[in-house]
Amino acid sequence: MFIFFLGALDYTLALNNSKDMKQFITLILLLSCGVASAQHFDTSKYVHIGNFFVDKSNPDLKYLRTDGISIGLIDIRKATPQQLESIKKYDRIEAIYNEHTWYNVYEALFNFHDAIVPRFETGLNDTIYNGSNNQTWGNIPITSTVIDGKNYVEFADVLIDKSNAKNYRYHVIQNDNKEIVAWTTPDNFLKTKDGKYSYAYLGKFNYTPNQTLRIEIYNVNNYADRSAYIADWRGFQAFQLRAFLQYKSNIKGFDHNILFSANLDETAKPQFYNCIETKNLNNKLIRLSDSIYTIQFSNKNYNLNYDYRLTLKKTINGKTATIDLGTCADTYNLDKTYWNEPGKYEIIFTPTAVTMATPKPSYGKWVLFNNLAKHYSFTVLPDLHNKISFSLRDMLLLIGLLLLLFLVIYYFIKTKNARKIALATQQKETSKLQLEAVRNQLNPHFMFNALTGIQNLMNKNKTDKANEYLSSFSRITRNILDGSKSTLISISEEKSLLDDYLKMEQLRFNFHYSIIIDKNIDADNIEIPAMLLQPLIENAVKHGISDLNKEGNIEIRFSSKEKKLLLEVVDDGEGFDTTKSYDGYGLQLTRKRISLLNAIYTHTKIEMNSTSNNNGTTIQIVLNNWLEQ
């Protein structure tokens, strides 16, 4: 039996946001496809179960299932009750999804709060958009849809059928103030085309101008089991803007830690605050001051189901720059750091949403409604307090000259030290980036070697060992991905990874191994650089014991000497000449990685030494002063 791990890696890819990890997994998939191609992969001999291909001749085929979430296939004979329930849920969702009429069906597979799904009238020249989930029901975000047209909407709950409907109640609210369907139990059910599954139909609701509908459903026995959905026919609107300057009062008697607000759309009121100098509302003026903190923009229209894209344009000394501030729902605080220089500023609020259904298929397209963009302009004036130093110059001329001399000397010393610190910091950051790059090269190096091992076993028709090798490979890959963001891992975790790898290689080569950790080493709490020993052990297997005509031995030791942590890899292979330079990729990356680690951990230098003869090879890595951290 040979089950491809394509589905497992596809699931792993979905769980990792790192761009490097995505590229890394893509590389594995391409290499896997190459191995499959080399073996003359014929899809007609396989059955497709979820994201997996299973040989039709597999005697366990009828027992294998997927729940759409687990990494591997599940044998229903060995499945837990929770797994069986998860498989039933997946089969139901898959059948409803295959109807091709309901939207967002698969969301319910991962979160029961998304069990309500919509469908819309077809044949109309309307566009439907995914909402922004700004509204909540308690602590549950509400999924929403903005309908730009006259489509009706229908709702269903894909997790409710006749067997559990009695436990649920739902109602429908129009425009947040009128209940058009009172709390009731679902009693109308639709069946999938194969007649195997039924699900609750919650009703059809026609278009009404400027209407919103909110449908809510909950389990009377478990209030946490609830979901809601909003359909919004109000369309998109310009940001109905209100702007307030937030500052701390300098009036005597006030607590200076309290923030006050001044309406930017009013003319100056110097008797209350001196940071707004607007005389004409078409030319809003703000005077810089230490007491100013932010400008708060809010929308008079709240409970909207879409966001606004924010753009800031600032013109200072004749030069204009544009800054993307992201998105907001109905309130945004523009921090003073964005407008702390005198100049002209303009902030733009533009409605935005992602297409969900269109006359011409264009799912998932970001749309900016520039015709509804709201522009708000203001001018920032310099801080008046900057003039105080000039009025004191004549009175303090002599002291000023002496102070100036002191400041010049101090400035040069400080600048020189700052440059040294900045250079050291930059070099350290560069070393970290280079170290990450080297580590990202180690992972594919390991993958290439492992995939070559799989291909060798397949070429020798050792299918069972290939499957066992592949299972171990998938587990190691998963562990590597889980720890991809960690520079250091515990000795226990490193031992576990090495155990998996060596057991995997024992499927190909005849050798014995042992991993020895001194009793005085706290393996769970002492950390070392991740995958530091992996390339060395790969070399011990590949170049040390693989060509022996007898059972080889590999020994890995973790020991300590004073403040030093010692890592050793010993094999009884034929050895090599340590006086010569070898171009092995794994050793190159290890040496480069140690060099970069030494640039980062300057007080804990790492050394690598090797001894070799006809009786074997010993590679030792010494982590100096490592145990005093």
Q: What is the pLDDT of residues 38-49, one digit of tens each?
A: 455 567 788 878
**pTM across the whole model:** 0.54
The token duo for 197 is 């599954």
Q: What angle separates helix 585-600 from helix 397-459, to the nearest 10 degrees?
A: 160
Residue pLDDT, tens place only, 397-435 = 778 888 888 888 887 787 767 666 655 565 555 545 454
Of the candidates 167, 195, 172, 191, the one whose C-alpha atom is nearest the C-alpha of residue 182 is 172
Residue type, 358: T
Contact 598, 605 (CB under 8 A): yes
When pLDDT is cut at 50, 70 and 90, the band that residue 20 belongs to is very low
State the amino acid at position 47 in one-letter form: V
Separation between Cα atoms, residue 162 and residue 410, nearest integer Å: 82
Which tens digits make up the pLDDT trace of 589-620? 788 888 888 888 888 889 999 888 888 899 99
- Reported confidence tier of residue 530, pLDDT bands at 50, 70, 90: confident
Over residues 326-363, the pLDDT tens digits come to 999 999 999 999 999 999 999 999 999 999 876 665 67
Rg (C-alpha) for the chain, rounded Å, is 33
Cβ neighbors of 47 (< 8 A, separation 6 or more) are: 53, 54, 55, 56, 61
Mean predicted confidence (pLDDT) in 117-127: 84
- Report the DSSP pairing between strands 285-287 and 319-328: unpaired
Helices 491-505 and 463-482: angle between axes, nearest 10 degrees: 160
Amino acid at 278: T
pLDDT for residue 211: 95
CA distances from 380 to 24, 278, 336, 389, 439 (A): 48, 11, 11, 22, 48
Listing DSSP states for 17-38 in one string gives --HHHHHHHHHHHHHHHHHHHH
Strands 606-613, 616-623: pairing kind: antiparallel
Q: What is the CATH number of domain 434-628?
A: 3.30.565.10
CB neighbour list of residue 195: distance below 8 Å, 6 or more residues apart = none
Question: pLDDT at position 273, please?
Answer: 64
Q: How confident is the model at residue 95 (pLDDT cuts 50, 70, 90)?
A: confident
Min mean pLDDT across 180-194, 199-213, 298-312, 531-545 is at 531-545
User: Regarding predicted confidence, which is higher, 444 or 12?
Assistant: 444
Tokens, residue 325: 């501030």
How far is the C-alpha of 149 from the C-alpha of 132, rounded, in Å? Answer: 18
**What is the per-residue pLDDT for 425?**
60
Is 50 exceeded by the pLDDT of residue 17? no
- pLDDT for the residue 453: 67
Instruction: Convert the pLDDT of each residue in 288-298 to its tens digit.
Output: 888 888 999 99
- The residue among 401 and 27 whose pLDDT is bigger is 401
Total residues belonging to the chain: 629
d(CA 440, CA 449): 15
Calculate the average pLDDT of the chain: 81
Give the pLDDT of residue 538: 84
CA 382 to each of CA 343, 433, 450: distance values in angstroms, whole numbers, following the listed order: 9, 41, 65
